[in-house]
Amino acid sequence: MELFKIKELRDLGIMVLAVLCLLLVSCGAGFVTNAGKTLDVGATIYESGYPMFLDLHKKGLITDAQKAKGYDLAVKYWAAYHAAQTAHELYAEVDSAENKDKVTLAMQEMAKRLAELTAYIQPLIKEGN
């Protein structure tokens, strides 16, 4: 399964997604573990990056409009993450092809939303630092 091509991710300025995709498709650990690691890494990126983005607004380095856009993207990622996490947990408990497909779809959506969020906030964080 290939979620994103690395070149496309670079074009979006989100190298980190290459890490997530490699985690998901790499051999060795099973699908459940890889998906869990992908969720975990994405969560860490959000939990460290989003507060840094908000800090920019507190320092007057981004506008209210920029903050609002980042917020909207963060909410979308938050919803997608928890949908993926729920599907992942269900699959870990009930191993079925249907559940695995649900995880795959949900993880794709989660990765897409994280990509959108990081593509927006990371350049602003870089500028502000």
43 binds other proteins per the rule CB under 8 A: yes
CA distance 96 to 78: 26
Please identify which residue in 52, 61, 83, 119 interacts with other proteins, judged by CB under 8 A.
52
33 binds other proteins per the rule CB under 8 A: yes
Q: Please name the residue ranges forming H helices in 59-96.
A: 64-93
Please identify which residue in 3, 24, 39, 56 interacts with other proteins, judged by CB under 8 A.
39
> Which residue, among 8, 24, 37, 124, has the nearest Cα to 74 in the 3D structure?
124
> Which residue, among 25, 43, 46, has the nearest Cα to 34 in the 3D structure?
25
63 binds other proteins per the rule CB under 8 A: no
Please identify which residue in 3, 56, 62, 77 interacts with other proteins, judged by CB under 8 A.
77
